[in-house]
Structure 1
Amino acid sequence: MTLTSPLRRSLIVLGLAALGATTAHAQTTLSMWYHGAGNPKEKELITGIINDFNGSQKEWKVELQQFPQEAYNTSVVAAAVAGKLPDILDVDGPVMPNWAWSKYMQPLSLPAGAIDKFLPGTIGKWNGKVYSVGLWDAACAIFARKSVLQAHNIRIPTLDKPWTKAEFDAALVTLQKGGKFQYPIDMGMAWKGEWYSYAFGPFLQSSGGDLLNSATPKSNGTLNGKAGVEFGNWWQSLFTRKLTPGTSQDGAERETGFLDGKYAMQWNGNWAALPALKKFGDDLVFLPAPDFGKGSKIGAASWQFGVSATTKNAKGANAFIAFALKDKYLAAFSDGIGLIPSTPAAAALTQNYKKGGPLEVFFALSAKQATLRASTPGYAGASGEFEKALADIANGGKVADALDTAADAIDADLKKNNNYR
């Protein structure tokens, strides 16, 4: 059967129209890398946001690839060298300046006002530009029991009136003399790596020192200056006086020592708060960091989302990140994994951080005490040197020598890389 010309033309037009409709609805795939492999709850939450985004529009489709946290940074660096970075990636807050300097990432392009109400620690800035933003933050506090402090006549500090260095030290000595605990406090020496800079760096900053002077940039005179040496001497005294477990602490002891009553107090993060609440209930208190002289300070900047520098789909990558910043997603992450939601509105939606919630204090701690680690591309190297120095000091090494060695190594790295300009 031969089709007449008008009919043939009509079918051709209909066919082209159908083809055009299919093409119009095709979504451009956006690759996304995430560090949370092995955590089913995180995968569920991230996948939920991705599915909502993919279903909310017809232009972009995000596809997730997860990595173990231990291998994530190495994988990103290798992909950058090979020119195979994803469109969207996540980055640990203090690492971001190095990735921006290395041209792994580009500044974000978000709608005006999108992050105006976010906690400062959740916004990754370098050279005055925003490169990353996080759906959560984390905060440290001293975990303690009211009954224990009251029994030893120790003042319970508040956010407005934290312990001074002298009060904190006296409290440790008093708890030690009480004889009921193996140690007055657990500082978490079983944990290695970034824990040192995140958990203990703020103590150095509160003492008036720092890893380096970012404005110079230079470590000598800052890390190993008068304030740094004073902090180092106090730090070493924690171990010589047996006020806290040393670097050989067993990981299981770190996880359960406070819960089992072996440690009177514990320096830990909000991610560990729920098991302690379950164990001690209303007797548990989360105390602010002591003031070592320059104000109470705790670490800030957790994992954040950014856009790779090499993506051809920056518009879509930014659209996804903007979509993920909705308060309901921030609240879902908080309820799911216990971390601090990035905005007050999101906190109000959560079970734990809303007004009167059991972890409400952590939002206040993050808002008032959170202090960024040195914002420099040289941070990764500096952090490693700080860890070596503090571990050496804890193990009995000479304070001045350990800090001098670390400062020299940090400055050598800065010089080698032309101060990361």
Structure 2
Amino acid sequence: MSSIAALAAAALVAGCGGSGSAGSSGADGNTLTLWTHNAGNAAEYGVVQQIVKDFNASQSKYKVKIQAFPQDSYNDSVVAAASAKKLPCILDVDGPNVPNWAWGGYLAPLDLSSGKVAVKDQLPSTVGRYQNKTYAFGFYDVALTLYARKSVLNKYGIRIPTIDKPWTKSEFMAALAKLKASGKFAYPLELATGNTGEWWPYAYSPMLQSFGGDLIDRSTYKTAEGALNGDKAIEWGKWFRSLVTKGYTAQKSGKSPNDDFLNGKSAISWDGSWSAAGDTAKLGDDLAILPPVDFGNGPKIGGASWQWGMSSTCSNKAGAQAYLNFSRQTKYFVDFAKATNTVPATNAAAAQVPGYKPGDKFNFFVQEAQKFAVVRPVTPAYPYISTVFTKTAQDILAGADVKGALDEAVSQIDNNLKQNNHYSGS
């Protein structure tokens, strides 16, 4: 459901430029195969099944058949199928992977002009683009946010921030100091540092970006020098480590960070919009949904979740395009958001989803996605960058020299870029 699935980084990046561009697959005449990562996710899978059923019933020329995979093995299955030139015609893709899959020859550009929902009306983070072409689109996004109890913040005289006036760094650190000094919380801040994989760049690189650093220099996408190891990035790294040394957060959190927050073990939790409904059910009006901290360059959250595209090897692209455009109806955007407790990708859909309508409690996440979302670097190198950043951030939390760790990360990323000719091929 969310965009924090583990990435098959090495398999995706190592010499795959153009690997899927030859041959054809995914269709037997006008019968087209669709792959999804939603096996085991009954609610979201049910929406996919309904769209396919409706499309098949809406016309007699094409028929779409579904094959569902468990999320943990999905990326590997796509990579293997691409190597064997046996990709389906229609497939979903985790948003940050779109540039890599487009560069690798897995995806074909889309013409979405005949869909009922216009691309321009979607949250930008829900449209997968690469080299000025659209390769995928999603029905929803997710938003990271801070959760707290209003009663706890009020008890310790901590201002409740708003979208328009988030906490500054100094306010945030003062709040953590008060909460730590109370003796009520072993770790006042829950960052879910026990999570693995894509959670690390998804959750923590927006903090780096709010400090003024980044994972790569986005002006050229040819180096991470200065972005990931400049003064702002070093400042972020030292701050990140200080959260552990000051006892504000755990170097490795427990297995159920959301439960720890709900049980009062932590006072402030950095978590996703997917937890909002459950948290509200448990805490009611005492739940405070808060914007990300402004560390100096504006509040930031990660953007992009699962999206849909068409394989470059599909032998019936007209049928695949027909299905994808058929799916672009507001009712399906609504159905996905309801099924997954996610942020609807359009305002029209949000207006029909309970809790997300303007003025409703969860419309906060729509505003966050509109104002604060930053997509992960739009480069085929992203899966590799993700892996490097994850290890680097973990090392920093564990006490590694910040500048040395970031310099090493830059060296590794720049070497990968050079080895792949800066991913200049398409």
Letter in 2 for 1:183: Y
Secondary structure of residue in 2 paired with 1:36? strand
Give 1:134's aligned residue: 138
* CA RMSD, Structure 1 to Structure 2 (Å): 1.3
Q: Deviations over 1:112-150 (max 9, x none)?
A: 672111001101111011110001100000011111111
Give 1:283's aligned residue: 286
Q: Deviations over 1:333-354 (max 9, x none)?
A: 1111101110000001111211
Letter in 2 for 1:337: T
In the alignment, which of 257, 260, 264 is matched to residue 261 of structure 1?
A: 264
| 2:223 aligned with 1:218 | yes
Give 1:116's aligned residue: 120
Give 2:12's aligned residue: none
Distance (whole Å) between structure 2 residues aligned to residue 203 and residue 368 of structure 1: 15
Give 1:344's aligned residue: 347
Secondary structure of residue in 2 paired with 1:32? strand
| 2:145 aligned with 1:144 | no
Q: Deviations over 1:270-302 (max 9, x none)?
A: 111111101111111111111111111100000
Distance (whole Å) between structure 1 residues aligned to residue 273 and residue 358 of structure 2: 16
Give 1:386's aligned residue: 389
In the alignment, which of 185, 193, 198 is matched to residue 189 of structure 1?
A: 193
| C-alpha displacement of 1:184 | 1.2
In the alignment, which of 69, 81, 93 is matched to residue 83 of structure 2?
A: 81
Letter in 2 for 1:150: N
Moved more, 57-66 or 231-240: 57-66
Distance (whole Å) between structure 1 residues aligned to residue 320 and residue 178 of structure 2: 54
Distance (whole Å) between structure 1 residues aligned to residue 39 and residue 361 of structure 2: 28
Give 2:299's aligned residue: 296
- Asked if structure 1 preserves the Cα contact closer than 8 Å seen for 2:38 and 2:45, the reply is yes
Secondary structure of residue in 1 paired with 2:60? coil
Moved more, 99-108 or 38-47: 38-47
Distance (whole Å) between structure 2 residues aligned to residue 173 and residue 92 of structure 1: 37
In the alignment, which of 354, 357, 379 is matched to residue 357 of structure 2?
A: 354
List aligned pairs for 1:8-407, cutoff 5 A: 28-111=30-113, 114-216=118-220, 217-247=222-252, 249-252=253-256, 254-407=257-410
Letter in 2 for 1:237: S
Unaligned 5+ runs, structure 1: 1-25
Taking only the aligned residue pairs, the percentage that are identical comes to 46
Letter in 2 for 1:251: K
Secondary structure of residue in 2 paired with 1:227? helix
Distance (whole Å) between structure 2 residues aligned to residue 27 and residue 364 of structure 1: 44
| C-alpha displacement of 1:308 | 0.3
- Asked if structure 1 preserves the Cα contact closer than 8 Å seen for 2:258 and 2:269, the reply is no
| C-alpha displacement of 1:27 | 8.0
Secondary structure of residue in 2 paired with 1:257? helix
| C-alpha displacement of 1:321 | 1.4
Letter in 2 for 1:130: T
Distance (whole Å) between structure 1 residues aligned to residue 370 and residue 218 of structure 2: 23
Letter in 2 for 1:239: V
Letter in 2 for 1:244: T
- TM-score, with normalisation over the residues of structure 1? 0.92
Distance (whole Å) between structure 1 residues aligned to residue 335 and residue 150 of structure 2: 31
Q: Deviations over 1:354-391 (max 9, x none)?
A: 12333111111111111111110000000110000100
Give 2:25's aligned residue: none
Letter in 1 for 2:249: T
State which structure, 1 or 2, has the greater radius of gyration over its C-alpha atoms. 1
Letter in 1 for 2:210: S
- Asked if structure 1 preserves the Cα contact closer than 8 Å seen for 2:186 and 2:247, the reply is no
- Asked if structure 1 preserves the Cα contact closer than 8 Å seen for 2:334 and 2:349, the reply is yes
Distance (whole Å) between structure 1 residues aligned to residue 100 and residue 358 of structure 2: 37
Letter in 2 for 1:123: V
Secondary structure of residue in 2 paired with 1:188? coil
